[in-house]
Every structure is written in structure tokens, then in C-alpha cells.
Amino acid sequence: MWSKMPKWANFIFSIRAAGLLLVLAALGILPPAGAQAHAVLRSSSPASNETLDQPPSRVELHFNEVVRLVSASVTDSTGARTDVQGDTAGSAVVLNFPGSIARGTIIVSYRVASEDGHPVGGSVVFHIGTYTATASEVPQGLASPLMIAIWLVHAGSIVLLAVVVGGAFFARLLEARTPPPSRQDLSASLAVLLLTTNVYLQGLDEIGGELRFAGIQPFLAASHSGSAIAASLALFSIVLVAMPIKGRMTSLAATVLAMIAASVSFTFTGHCNAVEPRWLARTCMFLHSGVMIFWIGSLIPLWRVSEKQAHTGPLLGFSRAIPLPFAGMLLAGGALAWIELPALDTVMLSIYGRVLLLKILLVSLLCLLALYNRFWLTQPALAGSQTAMWRLRRSVTAEMVLAVAIVASASLWRFAGPDQLEFATAAPPLSIHLHSETAMAQLELQVQSDGTSTARVSVITLDFETLEPRTVLLRVKNPRAGVEPIKYDLLRSPDGAWETRGLPISNPDGWEADVQILIDDFTTAHLQGELSPTADTSVTRRTADAGS
Amino acid sequence: MIKRLMLAAVVAISGASVANAHITLEQSQGTSGKAYKAVLRVGHGCEGKATIKIRVKVPEGLLSAKPMPKSGWTVEKVNATYEMSYDLYGKPVKEGVSEIVWSGGSLADDEYDEFVFRATVAKELPLGTRIFVPVVQECTDGAVERWIEVPAAGKNSDDYETPAPYFEVVAQPRS
């Protein structure tokens, strides 16, 4: 029959048949032919939530089936996102980790396609550095022995450095009676010991861990940081002043050099090291610490000269010399605080701010004492009043106590930088109400001072009755920042809520949550919502309204 | 010619289905008021572990479900009352098998098998409804995969990591 048809008709029929075949084939691929394959991440290296000392050179992802890498990115703790390349071999993907990355919590997000071309995204979160061991625990009163040791040794080495170097400078500048050489040697040795211990503890903190002996490793770890340069300069200054140098001018030059080295050493550590403008912060730090060394160093010699009438020369010299540098120290300190602290109304909310207030209080007391010494006691003491001499001695003793307290309070900044302000201000937990057709949940997000968050989920039925889910899963993602879903198994807390910690969320903007609860063997419910704080958006809206 | 086309179509459909890694149903459509042979295809274990138990929830609207016995596996049936009463060949039915459990066997991660039951698609189900058949796959070492996700409004099974297998209710062809 077909042979009777013209050839062109036969041809058109073939085209129609081919078209029909294509449509059928397409139907076979598209739903409802059944759900397609999804690749599932089986393991990764570094593993999820692992804490590393050093950034890894690569990140390995192992899937349950053969995949093809579509895209991948690395987001560091500052929120900076870097797209990364990688190689795929069967079911494994090896990503090249970027060389320069901020320490802290890292999110590696990936999108892979499985055999059928269906892309699946996910994220792996891990941490570089020992962020939990540095600062976050001290403000909560969870001071570890290592933290206390670092604080004591740090404050002690600063005081001793000032006593040794500043004391020598005072003695040589004002030609006071030099302290007995034996005692000078003793304090110099003690300062060397404290400085070395300080570097060791610093390194111990960097490699992460507790107060223990860890061989030479902490020194190696610290040698990469500014604290090693600072310690070397400080040691150099101590060696300089401890050397028996003949000749007034030569020894004075050596002490001036020592003062400069010791002051420079302060500019290599601390928060002033990281703030902009750096040149200003470092100059202020140099001036601030230089005067601090001179002032603290002069306290013991002053105390000693106020013992006897015969040695009033240095007192007169100091009295004349100190006002200008002292004012400079206050100015430089004020400038540093101004550079580091952006908003005055939030001062009390951060540990940094509280420490600053404590320090300002102590320095105010010191200024009162200094004024009292300068304008009420110095003249009578120089004139030979025994009472004034006695009072001066008492006052200098009080200054010594204040000096130690000021150094000790400033050393607390080692644990609480100004950058913690943003986490401290986020103190009230973020509460989000989520609901689905079968259940409701209250999701509470608490940003911790280390920049990560803890999540708490309470699940109830639509009738406000308690629901006992079998398991609760939390997925968070940030499509705007390119962060693919990160999955957390929540653990049941004694009070019935479900919790997890270590979420890489410091700012909830753009994050979305999906709480998956397993109600019974065969039923799940998904409760989804955005994490962005409603309070903030309403404020923004109000401001916008007022403007228009 | 038509036969050749049909054959090609079958090849195309089954070819596209080979890549399925989830537990899926072989037949994507079930006829309203007629028996549906549910063939559950199990393509892999739980992240590498062997499957030792398959639990199937017979969804509302699938009546008088009967599992097909399977050599090497014990089959268990759990009865329950339906949410509503259905008309089955003129008789009202209010209860029936609601859960089928195959256990006692072992299916390695790199092996494939099928678990079969048969049930009648209730006439009361609206045409075009997607019937989801939740399956819990239990493996060695206590590992479990739950293929139970039923898409919420505006979503489809591809939006979930562990979707429940499903089929669609279609009308009886006019004879």
C-alpha cells in the first residue's frame, strides 16, 4: 500500500514519525518518569566542622556516584567569596584551596551534576585557626588556664620591660644613682624569661590547645607572627641596657636606642597592627608605649630618690621633663581608641569597650596623682619638707600599683579586639517563627562572639501542643552569597528543644533556613523561612518612610 | 510502523530511567478504578551499606494492597482503617493493608532488585493526582534511608534529597 504513495508523502510521514519519537523520548526523560539521580556527599577532607591549624592546600569531596563539578566557591570568615577550580575523578572532586584566606570559619560551597545532569549543591564548613581558644571564651568568664597564663605573663613582661629599659633610661638621662648591678641583672634575666615564656604561650595558643609543654612547636608557630619580632626587639633592648657601657654619652645613646627598640616592639603586636590607617595607629602606639616605658621605669628610681634629701636632682629633672611626654601618651592613647572604636554609643556592649573604660578610669586616677605630685608635693619636697617627701613616696607607690593595673587591664585586649564589637552587639537572639501545614517551629539563632551561631528549634503542632519529632534537621543556605545548603543534625537538649552550634552565620542577612522534622516513620515536614531580622527591616522601612 | 515507534518509545523511556538512583516506581501512571502493579526499584543501599529491610506505606486511596512474595525475604502486612470509605466494585471498604514490610533478605549496595505489590486505585481519587508511596529503606549497621519526602505546594520531587516515589492517576481509556 505504501509503495502506491508518492515519494514526498512518504518523506513527510518519516519526519512526523521522527518528531513523535523525539517527543516520546523527551517524555521519558522529563517527569513524571520518576525522580532523577541526586549525588550525595559521603565524606570530605577536611571533614565538616573540623578545626585546622593551617589552611589546607586542597579540599576533597567524595560523592556516592560519578559526578561532574559545575562550580565551587570558598567563603572566608570576613565574607569574602572566591570561586575555585577543581578536578573531578569519578566520584571524587578535588578543589584547589585559595592561598590567601582569612583565618576563621570557612564555607566551601559546591555544585555538582550527577550522571543525568541534575545539579545538586551543598556546603562543607570547617575552621582554620583556633578561634574558639583565643577570645570568645574569656568574655563569658570561661577563662582557661592558658588564657590566664598568657594574660599574667604578658602583663608581667610589659611591666618588667618598662622597669628595666625605662629605669635604665631614667638613670642615665637624669644621672640618678643607678640601681645595684646585681639587681639590674636579676630584673633583666627575669624580663628575658618572661618574654620568652610569652612567645611560647602565644605559639601554644596559635597551634591550639591547653597549657602544656609542647616541645619547640609553639616557638615555630609564633615565629611566623608579629609576636616573635616584638619579643626579639624587646630582648635586644634589654641586652642593650644590661651591657656595661662606659662613658655617659655612649651609654645614653645605647639606652635611647633600647627605648626605641622596646617602643617599636609594641607596634608589632596588638590590634593597632591591623587597623587602618596603619601608619597613624603605629605612630600612636610607638609614642604611647615609649612614654609608658619611661614613666613606669622612672617610678622605682623616683621612689628611691625620695628616700633621701640628698638626691633631689633627678626628681627635679623628672618633674620638668614629664608633662609633655605624659600629655603625648594620653593623646596617642586617645587617638588609638578613636581609630579602633567606631561608634561611641556601643562602647559598653563590647569587651574591648569595657576594658577601655576601665583603663580610662585607672589613667584618670593616675593623672590626679600626677597632678598632686607635680603641683603640691614636688616643690615642698625639693625645698626639704619631710612630710612632702613621705607623701611623695606614698604617692609614687600608689602610681606603681596603678601602673601594674593599667598594664594588666590593657593586656586584656589580647582577648577582646575591637572587631568583636559587631558580634557583641548582636547579643539578643534572633527568633524566627516557621510553620507548615503540619507543624510550627520557633527557630532561635544566637550569634556567638567568635562569629558563629548556635541554633535552637522548638517544635509544636498547629494546635500549640508539644510534638515529639523523631529527628530534626536544619539546612541553611545563602543564595545571594553563593552558599549552598549546609546540613546540621540537631541534638535534643534536656529542655526539649533541638540544638546545634557552629553555624557559619555572623550576620543573618540573606540566609534561609529549612527545618526538616521527621514526625513519624513515613512523614516529614519542612518548615522554611528567612533568617534576616524583622526588627532591622522594619527600622529600615520606617527610615525610608520618614525620608519620603 | 506504529509498532516500531512504540518499541522505540519504550526503549527511550527505559533508557532514560536507568540513571535513577532513588527508589522509584516503574509505572509512572495508574488507571483510576483499576489495579496498579507497584514495582519499587531499589538501585542502591544506604550510602554503601546493604539493604536488609524495605518498609512501604500504602497510601490512602490504594485499596486491597497485596504484596508479591519474594524469595529470601519475609513479607509482613499491617492493617489499618482508611481515613474515608471507598467504593470497591460496589462494596464499601473502610480498612485494608496500610504497610508492607519485606525483611530478612540482603541486597548489596552494588546490586539491584524490585519489590512488588498490587493495589486498586480508588475511583474517588481525582484524575491527575500524584500518589506518593513513602518507602523506608533499612540497611546494615542501623543505617536508614527514608524515601518519604512529599513535595509541598509549588515544589516537585527534584527539590528534595530523598523524595518519595510516586505515580499519577489517569483516566480509563475509552473503549
Residue A3 has pLDDT above 50, yes or no: no
Taking the CA of residue A77 and the nearest CA in chain B, the distance in Å comes to: 28
Give Cβ neighbours of residue A37 (< 8 Å, ≥ 6 apart). A65, A114, A115, A116, A118, B19, B20, B21, B22
Could A34 and B47 be called an inter-chain contact, meaning their C-beta atoms sit closer than 8 Å?
no
The confidence score (pLDDT) of residue B127 equals 93
The confidence score (pLDDT) of residue B82 equals 92
Of the ranges A74-78, A105-109, A221-225, which one carries the lowest mean pLDDT score?
Answer: A221-225
Of A28, A436, A524, the CB nearest to B16: A28
Question: What is the number of alpha carbons within 13 Å of residue A364 lying toward its C-beta?
Answer: 6
Given pLDDT bands bounded at 50, 70 and 90, which one contains residue B51?
very high
- Tell me how far apart the 2 most distant CA atoms of chain A are, in Å: 140
In DSSP notation, A125-166 reads: EEEES-HHHHTTTTTTT---HHHHHHHHHHHHHHHHHIIIII
Could B148 and A524 be called an inter-chain contact, meaning their C-beta atoms sit closer than 8 Å?
yes
What are the pLDDT digits (tens) for A489-521? Answer: 899 888 888 988 888 887 788 888 999 999 888
Taking the CA of residue B19 and the nearest CA in chain A, the distance in Å comes to: 6
Could A35 and B163 be called an inter-chain contact, meaning their C-beta atoms sit closer than 8 Å?
yes
H or E element at residue B144: strand B144-147
Given pLDDT bands bounded at 50, 70 and 90, which one contains residue A427?
low
Taking the CA of residue B124 and the nearest CA in chain A, the distance in Å comes to: 21
Taking the CA of residue A20 and the nearest CA in chain B, the distance in Å comes to: 8
Contact residues on chain A for B14, CB-CB shorter than 8 A: 28
Report the phi/psi class of residue A208: left, alpha or beta, with left for phi > 0 and alpha for psi in -120 to 50. Answer: left
C-beta separation of A485 from A475 below 8 A: yes
**What's the mean pLDDT in A261-268?**
85
C-beta separation of B44 from B105 below 8 A: no
Q: Which residues pair with B87 in a beta bridge?
A: B92
Q: Which residue of B has its CA nearest to A437?
A: B152
What are the pLDDT digits (tens) for B132-150? Answer: 999 999 999 999 999 999 9
Of B17, B47, B149, the CB nearest to A524: B149
Q: What proportion of chain A, given as a percentage, has pLDDT over 90?
A: 4
H or E element at residue A392: helix A386-411
Could B13 and A27 be called an inter-chain contact, meaning their C-beta atoms sit closer than 8 Å?
yes
Given pLDDT bands bounded at 50, 70 and 90, which one contains residue A38?
low
User: What is the Cα–Cα distance from A528 to A289, expressed in whole angstroms?
Assistant: 54
Residue A419 has pLDDT above 80, yes or no: no
ipTM exceeding the 0.90 mark: no
Query: From the DSSP assignment, how many helices (H) and strands (E) are in chain A?
Result: 16, 18
Highest mean pLDDT of the ranges A25-29, A30-34, A472-476:
A472-476
Query: From the DSSP assignment, how many helices (H) and strands (E) are in chain B?
Result: 1, 12
C-beta separation of A160 from A187 below 8 A: yes
Report the length, in residues, of chain A.
548
Given pLDDT bands bounded at 50, 70 and 90, which one contains residue B166?
very high
What are the pLDDT digits (tens) for A166-208? Answer: 888 888 877 655 555 556 778 778 888 888 888 888 777 766 5
What are the pLDDT digits (tens) for A523-543? Answer: 888 988 888 755 443 333 323
| Cβ atoms within 10 Å, residue A304 | 16
What's the mean per-residue pLDDT of chain B?
A: 86
Greater pLDDT, B140 or A220: B140
The confidence score (pLDDT) of residue A270 equals 67
Say if B53 is an interface residue toward chain A (CB within 8 Å): no
Given pLDDT bands bounded at 50, 70 and 90, which one contains residue A322?
confident
Contact residues on chain B for A436, CB-CB shorter than 8 A: 152
Greater pLDDT, A17 or A244: A244
Could A34 and B20 be called an inter-chain contact, meaning their C-beta atoms sit closer than 8 Å?
yes
> What is the C-alpha radius of gyration for chain A, rounded to an integer number of angstroms?
33
Given pLDDT bands bounded at 50, 70 and 90, which one contains residue A42?
confident
Residue B16 has pLDDT above 50, yes or no: no
User: What is the Cα–Cα distance from A25 to B8, expressed in whole angstroms?
Assistant: 8
Give Cβ neighbours of residue A14 (< 8 Å, ≥ 6 apart). none
Q: What proportion of chain B, given as a percentage, has pLDDT over 70?
A: 87
CA end-to-end span of chain A: 80
Residue B71 has pLDDT above 80, yes or no: yes
The confidence score (pLDDT) of residue A372 equals 86
Say if B1 is an interface residue toward chain A (CB within 8 Å): yes
Could B12 and A24 be called an inter-chain contact, meaning their C-beta atoms sit closer than 8 Å?
yes
What's the mean per-residue pLDDT of chain A?
A: 76
Cell numbers placing A40: 550525595
A contact set with B (CB within 8 A): 17, 20-21, 24-25, 27-29, 31-38, 40, 42, 64-65, 114-116, 118, 436-437, 518, 521-524, 526
CA end-to-end span of chain B: 23
With DSSP H G I counted as helix, E B as strand and the rest as coil, what are the percentages for chain A, rounded to 5? 50, 20, 25
Q: In the A/B pair of chains, how many CB contacts fall below 8 A?
A: 97
> Residue B103: which of B115, B94, B91 has the closest Cα?
B115
Contact residues on chain A for B146, CB-CB shorter than 8 A: 518, 521-522, 524
Determine phi and psi for A367, rounding to 5 degrees: -60, -40
Could B5 and A33 be called an inter-chain contact, meaning their C-beta atoms sit closer than 8 Å?
no
The confidence score (pLDDT) of residue A209 equals 60
- How far, in Å, are A105, A244, B67, B86, B90 from residue B33 at the CA level? 57, 108, 19, 11, 11
User: What is the Cα–Cα distance from A401 to A520, expressed in whole angstroms?
Assistant: 66
Taking the CA of residue A41 and the nearest CA in chain B, the distance in Å comes to: 9
Helix (H, G, I), strand (E, B) or coil at A320: helix
Contact residues on chain B for A33, CB-CB shorter than 8 A: 13, 16-17, 28
Helix (H, G, I), strand (E, B) or coil at A395: helix
> Residue A257: which of A284, A236, A275, A285 has the closest Cα?
A236
User: What is the Cα–Cα distance from A495 to A507, expressed in whole angstroms?
Assistant: 27
Determine phi and psi for B105, rounding to 5 degrees: -95, -175
Could B21 and A38 be called an inter-chain contact, meaning their C-beta atoms sit closer than 8 Å?
yes
- pTM for this entry: 0.51
Say if B5 is an interface residue toward chain A (CB within 8 Å): yes
User: What is the Cα–Cα distance from A172 to A231, expressed in whole angstroms?
Assistant: 24
User: What is the Cα–Cα distance from A25 to B104, expressed in whole angstroms?
Assistant: 39
The confidence score (pLDDT) of residue B37 equals 96
Say if B20 is an interface residue toward chain A (CB within 8 Å): yes
Taking the CA of residue B90 and the nearest CA in chain A, the distance in Å comes to: 31
A131 class by beta-carbon count within 10 Å (0-12 exposed, 13-18 middle, 19+ buried):
buried
Cell numbers placing A60: 576533597
Strand A491-492 relative to strand B166-170: parallel, antiparallel, unpaired?
A: unpaired
Give Cβ neighbours of residue A413 (< 8 Å, ≥ 6 apart). A270, A271, A352, A355
Contact residues on chain B for A65, CB-CB shorter than 8 A: 21
Residue A135 has pLDDT above 70, yes or no: no
Greater pLDDT, A109 or A312: A109
C-beta separation of A113 from A67 below 8 A: yes
What are the pLDDT digits (tens) for B76-112? Answer: 999 999 999 999 888 999 999 999 999 999 999 889 9
Give Cβ neighbours of residue B70 (< 8 Å, ≥ 6 apart). B102, B105, B115, B116
Given pLDDT bands bounded at 50, 70 and 90, which one contains residue A25?
low
Q: Which residue of A has its CA nearest to B41?
A: A34
Say if B120 is an interface residue toward chain A (CB within 8 Å): no
> What is the C-alpha radius of gyration for chain B, rounded to an integer number of angstroms?
17
Taking the CA of residue B85 and the nearest CA in chain A, the distance in Å comes to: 22
Could B156 and A31 be called an inter-chain contact, meaning their C-beta atoms sit closer than 8 Å?
yes
Of B28, B146, B161, the CB nearest to A38: B161
Say if B161 is an interface residue toward chain A (CB within 8 Å): yes
Q: Which residues pair with B66 in a beta bridge?
A: B118
Greater pLDDT, A44 or A24: A44
Given pLDDT bands bounded at 50, 70 and 90, which one contains residue A30?
very low
User: What is the Cα–Cα distance from A166 to A295, expressed in whole angstroms?
Assistant: 7
| Cβ atoms within 10 Å, residue A175 | 13
User: What is the Cα–Cα distance from A477 to A485, expressed in whole angstroms?
Assistant: 4
**What's the mean pLDDT in A42-49?**
82
Taking the CA of residue B31 and the nearest CA in chain A, the distance in Å comes to: 15
Q: Which residues pair with A45 in a beta bridge?
A: A60
Taking the CA of residue A522 and the nearest CA in chain B, the distance in Å comes to: 6
C-beta separation of A280 from A339 below 8 A: yes
Given pLDDT bands bounded at 50, 70 and 90, which one contains residue A299?
confident
Strand B135-139 relative to strand B62-67: parallel, antiparallel, unpaired?
A: unpaired
The confidence score (pLDDT) of residue A2 equals 46
Give Cβ neighbours of residue A307 (< 8 Å, ≥ 6 apart). A393
Given pLDDT bands bounded at 50, 70 and 90, which one contains residue A31?
very low
User: What is the Cα–Cα distance from B35 to A295, expressed in whole angstroms?
Assistant: 96
- The CA-CA-CA angle for residues B107, B134, A486, to 5°, reads 85
Q: What is the DSSP letter of A115?
A: T
Of the ranges A149-153, A360-364, B3-7, which one carries the lowest mean pLDDT score?
Answer: B3-7
Determine phi and psi for A528, rounding to 5 degrees: -120, 150
User: What is the Cα–Cα distance from A416 to A406, expressed in whole angstroms?
Assistant: 16
Greater pLDDT, A144 or A165: A165
**What's the mean pLDDT in A41-52?**
81
What are the pLDDT digits (tens) for A86-119? Answer: 888 888 899 988 877 777 778 888 888 776 556 6
What are the pLDDT digits (tens) for A345-359? Answer: 666 666 677 788 888
> Residue B44: which of A42, A90, A64 has the closest Cα?
A64
In DSSP notation, A417-428 reads: -GGGHHHHHT-S
Helix (H, G, I), strand (E, B) or coil at A217: helix
Q: Which residue of A has its CA nearest to B130?
A: A32
Residue A35 has pLDDT above 60, yes or no: no
User: What is the Cα–Cα distance from B174 to B169, expressed in whole angstroms?
Assistant: 15
Question: What is the number of alpha carbons within 13 Å of residue A237 lying toward its C-beta?
Answer: 33
Residue A334 has pLDDT above 50, yes or no: yes
> Residue A444: which of A505, A487, A486, A518 has the closest Cα?
A505
